[in-house]
Amino acid sequence: MQTKKIEIKGIKDGLLIKIGSGKWAKQEKALLEHINSQKDFFQGGRLALDVGNHILKAATLGALRDTLFDSDVKLWAILSDSPTTEKAAQALGLATRLTKPSPPQLRDRPSPAIRGEAALLVHRTFRSGQKVKHPSHIIILGDVNPGAEIIAGGSIIVWGHLRGVAHAGAEGDSKAVVCALDLSPTQLRIADRISVSPPGGKDVQPEVARLEDGQVVAHPWNQA
């Protein structure tokens, strides 16, 4: 079966691309080739994919999301006629509808009593050689593998395994912390203090690392 021409249209939240009904491997290849051939058009864009009846697992969608991220394209939604694909997309935190109105109480009644701070939210896994740097806090929904590097002016939160290099408080903030579900970095740095060996124990558990008396110390999340 031949790969159908890719259908693209603009929507309020970015671009919507409809995937044909041919074999997924061919359709995915055609999609990536099309995006790479028009990098200037897609760079920095938000992408929703209508995959029709394709039955896709979370691993397949996650790999596609990471590949698109490497091309500076954010995959934020998967539209599908398959309940399996829809559940896989939801498991990855991807939207499965084009419109998602905010709750009225959040849209109409902002609370002046709650003050937040700027942060970079990244929904992906970092592989060896990949690096992210941000002047404020960084929140990662995914793993940070050995050889990857995370540098934040504020705190670092990893909802996954932290096994690479993490530098919180990179601009001198000694109150910054590093949190992870599995805190096992190859190097952990807070402000100007470095811990080369993992500060946590052998048991895998959520931990928070911070400076105490000039040393990087980690505690279980529920005791921090």
Residue 100: pLDDT band (50, 70, 90) is low
Predicted confidence (pLDDT) at residue 28 exceeds the cutoff of 50: yes
Predicted confidence (pLDDT) at residue 2 exceeds the cutoff of 50: no
As a dihedral over the C-alpha atoms of residue 29, residue 35, residue 37, residue 43, rounded to 10 degrees, the angle is -150
Residue 150: pLDDT band (50, 70, 90) is very high
For the record, the structure tokens of 34 come out as 């099309």
Q: How many CB atoms lie within 10 A of CB 6?
A: 15
The contacts of residue 170 (CB under 8 Å, 6+ apart) are 133, 151, 152, 153, 189, 191
Which listed CATH number (2.20.25.90, 2.160.20.70, 3.40.50.620, 3.40.50.970) goes with 118-223? 2.160.20.70
Q: How many CB atoms lie within 10 A of CB 67?
A: 15
pLDDT digit string, tens, across residues 29-80: 999 998 888 887 788 888 999 999 999 999 999 999 999 998 889 999 999 9
pLDDT digit string, tens, across residues 166-184: 999 999 999 999 999 999 9
Question: Architecture of domain 7-91 in CATH?
Answer: 2-Layer Sandwich (3.30)
Lowest mean pLDDT among 62-76, 87-101, 116-130: 87-101
Query: pTM for the whole thing?
Result: 0.52
CA angle 100, 103, 108 (to 5 degrees): 120
**Please, what is the end-to-end C-alpha distance for the chain in angstroms?**
58
Residue type at position 107 = R
Give the pLDDT of residue 71: 86
For the record, the structure tokens of 178 come out as 């590093």
Domains in the chain: boundaries: 7-91, 118-223
Report which of 61, 59, 1, 64 is spatially closest to residue 35, judged by C-alpha positions: 64
d(CA 180, CA 221): 9
Token look-up 């052998």 returns 202
Give the pLDDT of residue 56: 94
As a dihedral over the C-alpha atoms of residue 196, residue 200, residue 203, residue 205, rounded to 10 degrees, the angle is -120
Q: Would the CATH topology of 7-91 be identical to that of 118-223? A: no
d(CA 177, CA 104): 34
